[in-house]
Every structure is written in structure tokens, then in C-alpha cells.
Copies of this chain bind each other. A is one copy, B any other.
Amino acid sequence: MPREIERQYKEILKQYVMQQTEKNLYAGQNFSRQLIKKNVAPEEVISVHKAALEEMFPELQTEVLHSFDFLIEMMIRYGLAHSEHQSLLQHQK
């Protein structure tokens, strides 16, 4: 994931975690479109999410962080399905 996207993700997430307003949720929804457009894999999103939580909550239980590694493994499979979709679309052009 490009550094700038990572920075933006952390910033938008932080806003949402502090205040669950419609506006902040909407910023997230808009941002998710960008992630897809830039071919960011879902496991990369989980990975940045984990890093963001580590920064925001330095006291977070190690077990919770381990659970993210598990979630990353889950999403790798979804990422494969997604990239398969992309190449199928390319192929059809």
C-alpha cells in the first residue's frame, strides 16, 4: 500500500474511532472506493488497521494483535478472489 494511502487510512480511522459521526463514516466509505481503485488488497487493509491500532493503543493486548494476523490470513484468500476478478475483467477487454 502506498505510504500516502496508509497515512490517510490511519487519519480517517482515527477520526472515526474518536467520533462515530455520519460524516466520519461517510469519509471511510468514500475512502474504501479509493482503496479498491488503487488495487489495495484486503489483507493490506487489515495489516494497516492493525498498525493503526498499535499506534493508537500502545497498551493493547498482544492477543488482540495476534488475532489480526489470523484475520490477515482470512483476507488473503479474499484478496486472491478479487485479483482473479481483475484479471478476468482485463481478459474480457
Contact = CB atoms under 8 A, between A and B. Distances in A.
B85 A13 contact: no
A5 interface: no
Copies in the complex: 2
A46 B49 CA distance: 12
Interface residues of A, number: 42
Interface string A57-93: 1001101101101110111111001101100110000
A36 interface: yes
A8 to B, nearest CB: 12
A81 B81 CA distance: 9
3 A-B pairs closest in CB distance: A85-B85, A32-B77, A32-B74
